[in-house]
Every structure is written in structure tokens, then in C-alpha cells.
Amino acid sequence: MKELRLHRKKCRDERAEHAALVAAGGVHFRCRTCKAEGVIRPDVELAKQVRRALKIEAPEPCAVEMETCPACDEQEKESDIDKRQSNGDDADAAKEATR
């Protein structure tokens, strides 16, 4: 029971933090590929561009759904490196891994 209360508190705190970030100019997001949800912080250029494109000024809520997110992109990059390494393209894969 105690764990459930802690989880609920953590969830409430996170929702409050997200609401404050969005009110300050951030943007809620959801990724179609990996189903991740979160907030693009107000100081990130993408949040500014999304708000301009949608003509939604802070503190009004704003949200966007993306096909992929940075986590998906990073996972795809790692997958490509792993494939090249297994195919014997070690030099290219090693170079890519150090980027």
C-alpha cells in the first residue's frame, strides 16, 4: 500500500512539473513509434517552432505527436551500427559509434 501511495505522489509531482513546463512555453509530446510521452522543454528550439507553427502561445497548453522521437532515433542508429558490425563493416561501424 505504501508503494502505491509513493507511486501516486510521484505521478502527481511529475504531472505538476510537466504542466509548469508547458505553461512556461514547453510542449507535451507523444511518440507514435515507442509510445513515449513527455514534455519538450520551453528552452528547446523545437518547442518554440511547434508553438509558432500551431499559433499557441504560453501559458496555453500545447501538444504534438511525433512519428519518432530522439530515443527512437538513437535506438535506430545503434541498431544500424550493430548490423554493420555483424556484416563485417567494422571500420564504418566503429567510426559511426564514436560520433
What pLDDT shows up at residue 1? 76
Residues 48 and 89 in one domain: no
Residues 50 and 77 in one domain: no
User: Tell me: the pLDDT tens digits for 22-46?
Assistant: 999 999 999 999 999 999 999 999 9
Residues 60 and 80 in one domain: no
Residues 74 and 57 in one domain: no
Domain interval for residue 76 = 69-99
DSSP string, the chain: -HHHHHHHHHHHHHHHHHHHHHHTT-EEEEETTT--EEEE-TTSHHHHHHHHHHT--TTS--EEEESS-HHHHHHHHHHHHHHHHHTT-HHHHHHHHT-
User: Tell me: the pLDDT tens digits for 42-94?
Assistant: 999 999 999 999 999 999 999 999 999 888 878 777 777 766 777 765 555 45
Please, which pLDDT band fits residue 95 given cuts at 50, 70 and 90?
low
Cell 560520433, residue located: 99
Residues 60 and 86 in one domain: no
Residues 91 and 56 in one domain: no
Please, which pLDDT band fits residue 98 given cuts at 50, 70 and 90?
low
| Structural domain count of the chain | 2
Residues 41 and 15 in one domain: yes
